[in-house]
Structure 1
Amino acid sequence: MDNNSNNSNKSTTMDLSNIKSMPIRTFWITSIAFFICFFAWFGIVPFMPDVVKDLGLTPNQKWNSIILAVSGTVFARLLIGKLCDKYGPRICYTYLLILGAIPVILIGFVQTPAQFLICRLFIGFIGASFVITQFHTSIMFASNIVGTANATSAGWGNLGGGANRLGMPLIAAAVVSFGVADEVAWRYAMVIAGIIAMAMGVIYYYFTQDTPEGNFSELKKLGKMPTLKKDEESFKNVLKDYRVWILFIVYAASFGMELTVYGTMDDYLQNTFGLTRSTAGNLVLSFALMNIFARTLGGFFGDRFGRLKGLRGRVVFLTIILALEGLMLSIFSLTTSFTMGIIFLIAFSLSVQMAEGATFSVVPFINKKAIGSISGIVGAGGNVGAFLAALLLKSKSAMAETNALASSTGLGEEAMRAAQAAAASNAVSSGYFMIGGFVIVAALASLAIKFSTVDEKSVQTETATSVSAPYKFLGTKV
C-alpha cells in the first residue's frame, strides 16, 4: 500500500487513548522522544554557573558554547530530513537518540573548556529530533487532522526545553542525596539524561513503524517506495520550490524569534521592570509551558481553515497569526508599564507558538513525496533565525552597554550598573521592535505560497473521506 496515494490506514482522529492504533502509539512515542531530546539538548543550561566555575570558562567561551549548540542543530536538521525520506523516521530516530546520547554522556566527563565546547556542538545535533517528529506524524495522520497532530507533538516535545529548568536540578538534587558533592552533581545529571535518551532509542526501534502500512524497508521490497534516482530528483525539486524557502523564512520568524526572545527575556525583564532574577526566570518558564496548548491551537485552526477554504485557507491563517505575532512583539517593545508589558508578552507567546503550529499545518502539503526534506529545511530556518536575531541583539546591547559604562565612569559602582541596565534595556527594546517588523514582513511574504488546482482537489477529496469519521481530540468529539 503506497502511503502517498492511499490514506486508508492514516488516523483521521486524535483519540490519544487508543494506543493500540499504530499512528496514536507513534504520536506518543515520538512526542516523548522529542521531549527527551530537548531536555538533554538544553540540560546543561541550569548548570552553567557551576560549569563556568568548574571548568573556568571565560565569557567568550560561554557565549561560544551557546552558538555552537545552535549551529550544530542547523546542519543536523538539513541532513536528517533527507535521511528520513530515504531510510524512514524509525531508523533515523533510533540512531539519532543512541548516537546523540553519547556527547550528552561525555559532557559529564569533560575536563577542559575545549572538550566542553566540542560536546555542546555535537549535543546540538539532537535538536534535529523536531524534524523526525514532524515527518513521522505527517505520514501517520490524515489531512483533516495532520496540522493538529504535528502541532501537538511539537508543542509537547518543546516542553523538554523548559522542563529541564526544573527537572535537571531535581535530578542533581537526587544525586546529591546519595552523597555526591554539589559541585559535580551536574556531571551525573547529564550522564543520566544521556542514558535515558539512549534507552528511548531502543524503545523507538521496537515499538514504532515508519508508516501506517509498514516500514520503509518492507515497502521497498514490495516495490512501493521511490527508487534512489527518484529520491534524488525529488530532493532537487524541493530545493527549487520557492514555497519551501518562504516557509524557511516563516519558521525563522516564528520558532527562531521565540528562541531568541525567551533567551534574552530574563535579563530584559530585570533591566526594564526591575524584577529579581528568580521572578523573571519563572515568568519566562511559564511562557515556555504554554506549548502544552498554544502550538496545538495553531495546528487546530490551520486544519479548520483548511477544511473551510482548502490549502489556501491554511496559508491565510498562517499569515494572520504570524502578523499578530510581529505586532504583539513590537508593541511589547514599546511598553514601559509592567502590567501592559506582561499582557502583550502573553499575547506574543500565544501567537508565536500558534504560528509555529500553523507553519507545520502547511508543510505536509508542499510535496508529499519529500516531507522529510522539506521539514528539515523549514526546521533549520528556525535555528538560522534564532542565530541571526541573537547576533542582532548581542551587537546592539554590547555596544550600548560599553558606551554607558564609559560615560558613567567615576560615578560609583551602583550608578554604573544602573546606566548599564538602562542601556541594555533600550538596546534590546529597539532590537525587539526591529524583529517584530521582520516578522510582519515574513507574514506578508507567506501570502505568496500558492497551490495548484490539482493539489487543492486532491486534498479536498482526501479530506472529504477523512472527515466522514468522527473528529476526535483526546477522545472527545470536536
Structure 2
Amino acid sequence: MSSNNGKLNLLDIKSPSIRTLHITWFAFFLTFVLWFSHAPMKGALTAAFDMTNAQWKALLILNVALTIPSRIVIGILVDKFGPRVTFSLLLMSAGVLCSFFALAQSFEMLALARFLMGFVGAGFVIGIRLVGEWFPARQVGLAEGVYGGWGNFGSAAAAMSLPTLALAYGGENGWRYALLSISVVAFIYGIIFYRTARNTPKGSTYFKPKKSGGLEVSTPKDFWFLLAMNIPMYAALAVLAWKLSPAGVGLLAQPFVYTAYIVLGLLFIFQSYQIYRVNKDMLMAGSVPEHQRYSFKQVAILDVNYFITFGSELAVVSMLPSFFAETFGLSPVKAGLLASGFAFMNLAARPGGGYLSDKFGRRKTMLILLAGLAVGYLTLSQIGSGWPIVLAVLATMGCSFFVQAGEGAVFAMVPLIQRRMTGQIAGMTGAYGNVGAVTFLTIYSFVSTPTFFMIIACSSLVGFFASWFLAEPKGHISEVAEDGSVQLIEVT
C-alpha cells in the first residue's frame, strides 16, 4: 500500500499504486510536451513557412479546436476499453501526428497536422480514471493533483527544452529533428505504458457503463440538464470557426465557415440522439434503481468550476507575457520569464488543492479556493506601471495558486461521483476547461486588460455560489459488476 497512517508517500516506488501514479503522470506529461511543441518554435516555423502573423494565430486556434470534442470521445473510450489500452494508443498516435507536423512541407500540411494534434490534448482524461482506480477516497485528491500538476508541466518543459534541442541539432531543419525526437519518445513510451500499466489493482473490478455513446443519467430532469450543458461546448467550437473566418484570421473562406456551422449542428443532434439512446430505458421507467443513482447537478457544478479555473489559466498564460512587457516596458524574454511563474505554480498548487480537498472536505475547499481566486483576479486588475515588478509577480503567483489549486479540487471529486463513468465525467469537465479558455480569450479581444481580470473575478463568484449546492461525497457509491453483483466503493 502507498500510505503511512493514511498519508501518501510519493517516493515509495515499491508500491504498485505509486508506480502507477508516476508512469501515468509521465504519460500525460509527454502528451502536453507534444501538444504544445509548436509554441517555442514560433521563430523557426514562421521563417520556414514564411508565415504571416494571422497564419500563426490560426495555427494556435487549430491546436485547441479538436480538444473539446476529443475529450468527450476519449472519456467514452476509456470507460469502455480501459486506460491502459486507450493511453497507449493515444501516445503512439501522438508520436505519429507530431512526426507529420515535423515533416510538413507546406502551411496547409502544417495546419492540418496541428488541427489533428488537438486530439492529443485529451490524454488528461485517461489518467483521471486510472489514478482514481488505484487510490482510495482519502488520498485520491492529492494523487489526482500530482498527476495533473506534473502532467501540465509538460507545456513548460516543451518551452524550456525544445529550442535548446533544435539548436543542438543545428541548421534550418533543427526544429524538425527536435520534434521528431520527442515523437519517437512518445511512441516508444506508448509501448512501455501498455506493458507496465494495469487498469486496476489486483483483485479489483473495472466497472464499465451498461451502454456506450453517451453519459448515463438518473432522472428525466437530469437528461434535459445534460443536453443543455452540451450546448456551450458546440458554441465554443462555433466561436473557433468564426475566429478562422474572414472576420477573424482569414484562414477559412466564408462558405467553409458556414459548412462548419452546419456540421456542428449535425454533430449536436447526433450526440443528443446518442444520449437519448443510452438513457431510453431510464426515460421510459422514470428513473433508475436507487443504488445506481447519482446527481448530474454535481457534474454540472464541477464543469462550471473547471470552466473558471482551467479556462482562465489557459487564457491568462496566453496574454500574461505581453501584459508584463507592455505594463513595465520589459523585453519579451524578461516578460516571458516573469510571467512563467503563473504556470510554474502548477507543480505545487494543483497537488495542494487535491490535498486540501482530501483533508478538509470537497465542498469547503472548493468554496475557499474560488473565493481566493476572485480576490486574486481582482488584485491583478489593479496592477499598473506604478507597481514594483516584484509585487506584481508575487500577486500573479498568489492568484495562480488559487487557480490551479481549484483545478486540483475539481478533479479530487470527479472520481467520487460514479466510478463506471469517471472517464466521461472527466472528459466533459475537461472539455469545459477549454470552453472557458475560448470564452475568456474571446472576451479579452474586446476589452481592456483590467476589465478582463475583473470579468474573471466575477465569474469566480458565480462558481463560488454554485459550489454552495455541491453535495459532499459520503459513505459509498454502488456499482454493478458484469455478473450482476452490486459492489460498494468508499467515497469518504
TM range (shorter): 0.7 to 0.9
The residue number in structure 2 matching 1:422 is none
The residue number in structure 2 matching 1:28 is 22
The match for 1:376 among 427, 431, 447 is 427
SS of the aligned residue for 2:8 comes to: coil
Cα separation, 2, equivalents of 1:209 and 1:50: 40
Cα separation, 1, equivalents of 2:476 and 2:208: 20
SS of the aligned residue for 2:342 comes to: helix
Task: Check if 1:361 corresponds to 2:412.
Answer: yes
Q: How does 1:78-477 map to 2 (within 5 A)?
A: 78-176=72-170, 181=171, 183-213=172-202, 225-226=207-208, 228-229=210-211, 235-237=216-218, 240=226, 241-306=296-361, 314-336=362-384, 337=387, 338-396=389-447, 427-450=448-471, 456-458=474-476, 462=490
The residue number in structure 1 matching 2:55 is 61
Cα separation, 1, equivalents of 2:396 and 2:429: 25
Cα separation, 1, equivalents of 2:216 and 2:52: 42
The residue number in structure 2 matching 1:467 is none
**1:194: how far off?**
1.0
Cα separation, 2, equivalents of 1:59 and 1:234: 40
Equivalent pairs, count: 404
- Residues 339 and 286 (structure 1), Cα distance of their counterparts in 2 relative to 1, 3 Å cut: closer
Cα separation, 2, equivalents of 1:298 and 1:39: 23
Cα separation, 1, equivalents of 2:2 and 2:393: 45
Cα separation, 2, equivalents of 1:233 and 1:107: 32
**1:458: how far off?**
2.5
Summarize deviations over 1:4-50 as a string: whole Å, max 9, x none: xxxx9999652233333322111010111111111111111111122
Question: Contact 1:251 / 1:359 at 8 angstroms: preserved in 2?
Answer: yes
Cα separation, 2, equivalents of 1:321 and 1:262: 19
Summarize deviations over 1:426-466 as a string: whole Å, max 9, x none: x1221122122112212221222225xxx5132899478xx
- Residues 233 and 75 (structure 1), Cα distance of their counterparts in 2 relative to 1, 3 Å cut: closer
The residue number in structure 1 matching 2:10 is 16
Alignment RMSD (CA, Å): 2.3
- Residues 255 and 141 (structure 1), Cα distance of their counterparts in 2 relative to 1, 3 Å cut: same
**1:60: how far off?**
2.0
Cα separation, 2, equivalents of 1:71 and 1:157: 21
Q: Percent identity?
A: 31
**1:143: how far off?**
0.5
Length-normalised TM-score, structure 2: 0.78
Cα separation, 1, equivalents of 2:7 and 2:66: 36
Give the number of the structure with larger relative contact order, counting CA–CA contacts within 8 Å between residues 6 or more apart: 1
Length-normalised TM-score, structure 1: 0.80
Cα separation, 1, equivalents of 2:464 and 2:28: 27
**1:368: how far off?**
2.1
Structure 2 gaps of 5+ residues are 227-295, 478-487
SS of the aligned residue for 1:275 comes to: coil
The residue number in structure 1 matching 2:244 is none
